[in-house]
């Protein structure tokens, strides 16, 4: 059975041959400790370095490419956006937070509220 | 008397409850995945889907109000899910309308309730009913496990077809790509709520029953789309023919329009 090794917490998740699993989903299911926030490729909180098995992952799609930029070339992926179909080892900084100090979501909300206040 | 299932046993029972009637296997979904649809069919799909998922914030808000304070993790999940639907990025219904517009539809047409089928209105009403009147455990089983958690399995087949066969851009089809991944996580969180809070055999059985009911509702809604909009153009859906045609088809993009 293929196995995902969550190296930072030293946890494992095994899944049946032929299945493809979302890495963040199985981390949540099996309590493997990957940090996350938005689950939609926005915040980057769940970025992880692929230490082994990058060939067993599906290719990054638009949101992940845009969010990670150069980090993709350095071996990073976003767990919420990534599916695995074979053995993989991933690691992360346990203290990591989102990629933007002020997230795009925060900027959007601020613009909305300030815009409303201006209009009053 | 029924015994309390372990979380592992309950997860399997919930998965089995909807595995026989998954919307990905309904005629409209199969016609979509095998490249049979035309752009005007997608406009109808987007319109009906809008009236099914458009009030998702409302459903979640009702569930939030029905969730007791001691289940703070469930309340927070519902609030976060609501925020992600509406505010964290592009509003999800706007992505749906973007797709409809790429198919030649208009925002006005999509938002007009008169353009949805009675099955769609029935599904919407059922969701208001469940979210407004049932325990948060049961409504999570229905809306999150029974309906939302099916989404990745549907769109993981349909999204590549939209890009590779129907020729949509990633931007036009962003609604689907976004939901493949976000609903993986929402679905998993939904399971966790049900596994944690369905703490009597009766409540567990109620959750299993309503997951089955949710799957039936979504299947009927999806099948009705084929009958209302596609069957007049392509005739009744016959799976074998579609599979044979798909295996013979040239690999280039099909014409849509
Ligand atoms: S959790 Fe925010 S990008 Fe994956």
Share of chain B above pLDDT 70, in %: 93
Q: Tell me which of A41-50, A110-119, B151-160, B191-200 is least confident.
A: A110-119
Counting the structural domains of chain A, the total is 1
Architecture of domain B7-25+35-235: Up-down Bundle (1.20)
| Residue A78 maps to a domain | yes
In a domain? residue A119: no
**Residues in B touching A24 (Cβ below 8 Å):** 184-185
With respect to residue A117, please indicate whether it lies within any of the assigned structural domains.
no
What average pLDDT is seen over chain A?
Answer: 88
Residue B172: predicted pLDDT: 96
Structure tokens at B35: 């490249």
Nearest Cα to A59, choosing from A38, A41, A84?
A84
ipTM of the complex: 0.80
For the Cβ of A45 lying below 6 angstroms from any atom of ligand 1, the answer is: yes
* DSSP 8-state symbol, B249: S
Residues of B in contact with A61 (CB under 8 A): 170, 177
Q: Which residue has the higher pLDDT, B100 or B158?
A: B100
Local structure of A57: helix, strand or coil: strand
Lowest mean pLDDT, pick from A55-59, B110-114, B184-188: B184-188
The model's confidence at residue B243, banded by pLDDT at 50, 70 and 90, is low
Predicted confidence (pLDDT) at residue B254 exceeds the cutoff of 50: no
Residue with tokens 């999570």: B140
Q: What is the DSSP string of B65-103?
A: HTS-TT-HHHHHHHHHHHHHHHTSSS-HHHHHHHHHHHT
- B72-108 per-position pLDDT tens digit: 999 999 998 888 877 777 888 999 999 999 999 999 9
Long-range contacts from B90-97, C-beta under 8 angstroms, 24+ separation: B90/B174, B92/B53, B92/B56, B92/B175, B92/B178, B92/B179, B93/B50, B93/B53, B93/B54, B95/B174, B95/B175, B95/B178, B96/B46, B96/B49, B96/B50, B96/B53, B96/B175, B97/B46, B97/B50
Atom of ligand 1 nearest to the CA of A79: 4
DSSP E strands in A47-107: the ranges are 47-52, 76-78, 83-84, 88-91
A82 CB near ligand 1 (under 6 Å): no
Q: What is the pLDDT of residues B21-32, one digit of tens each?
A: 777 888 899 999
Query: Residue A66 belongs to what domain range?
Result: 3-112
Q: Nearest residue CA, atom 3 of ligand 1?
A: A41
- Residue B216 confidence (pLDDT) above 50: yes
Please enumerate, as own/partner, the contacts of B197-202 that have beta carbons within 8 Å and a separation of 24 or more.
B197/B71, B197/B74, B197/B136, B197/B137, B198/B10, B198/B137, B198/B141, B199/B4, B200/B4, B201/B1, B201/B2, B201/B3, B201/B4, B201/B5, B202/B2
Give the start-to-end residue ranges of the domains of chain B: 7-25+35-235
User: What's the pLDDT score for residue B152?
Assistant: 87
DSSP B147-171: IGGGHHHHHHHHHHHHHHTS---TT
Which of A61, A77, A108, A109 best probes binding to B when mutated, by most B CB atoms within 10 angstroms? A61
CATH of residue A59: 3.10.20.30
Beta bridge partners of A91: A49
pLDDT of residue B257: 36
User: Is residue A119 pLDDT above 50, yes or no?
Assistant: no
B238 and chain A in contact, CB less than 8 A: no
- Confidence (pLDDT) at B253: 41
């Amino acid at each position: 059975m293929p196995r995902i090794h969550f190296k930072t917490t030293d946890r494992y998740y095994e899944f049946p041959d032929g299945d493809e699993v979302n890495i963040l989903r199985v981390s949540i299911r099996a309590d493997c400790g990957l940090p996350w926030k938005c689950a939609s490729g926005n915040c980057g909180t769940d970025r992880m370095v692929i230490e082994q098995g990058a060939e067993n992952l599906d290719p990054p799609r638009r949101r992940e490419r845009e969010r990670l930029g150069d980090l993709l070339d350095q071996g990073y992926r976003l767990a919420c956006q990534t599916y695995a179909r074979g053995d993989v080892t991933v690691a992360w900084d346990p203290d990591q937070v989102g990629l933007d100090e002020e997230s795009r979501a925060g900027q959007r909300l601020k613009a909305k509220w300030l815009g409303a206040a201006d209009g009053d | 008397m029924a015994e309390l299932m372990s979380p592992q046993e309950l997860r399997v029972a919930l998965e089995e409850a909807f595995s026989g009637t998954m919307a990905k296997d309904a005629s409209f979904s199969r016609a979509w995945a095998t490249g049979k649809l035309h752009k005007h069919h997608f406009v109808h799909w987007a319109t009906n889907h809008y009236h099914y998922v458009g009030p998702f914030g409302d459903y979640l808000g009702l569930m939030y109000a029905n969730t007791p304070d001691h289940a703070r993790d469930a309340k927070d999940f519902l609030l976060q899910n609501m925020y992600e639907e509406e505010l964290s990025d592009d509003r999800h219904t706007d992505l749906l309308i973007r797709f409809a517009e790429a198919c030649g539809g208009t925002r006005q047409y999509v938002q007009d309730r008169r353009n949805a089928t009675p099955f769609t209105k029935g599904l919407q009403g059922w969701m208001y009913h469940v979210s407004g009147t049932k325990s948060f455990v049961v409504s999570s089983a229905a809306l999150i496990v029974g309906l939302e958690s099916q989404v990745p399995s549907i769109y993981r087949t349909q999204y590549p077809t939209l890009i590779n066969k129907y020729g949509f851009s990633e931007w036009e089809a962003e609604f689907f790509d976004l939901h493949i991944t976000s609903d993986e996580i929402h679905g998993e969180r939904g399971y966790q709520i049900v596994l944690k809070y369905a703490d009597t055999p009766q409540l567990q059985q109620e959750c299993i029953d309503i997951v089955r009911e949710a799957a039936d509702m979504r299947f009927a809604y999806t099948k009705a789309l084929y009958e209302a909009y596609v069957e007049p153009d392509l005739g009744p859906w016959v799976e074998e023919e579609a599979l044979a045609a798909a295996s013979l088809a040239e690999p280039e993009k099909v014409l849509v329009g």
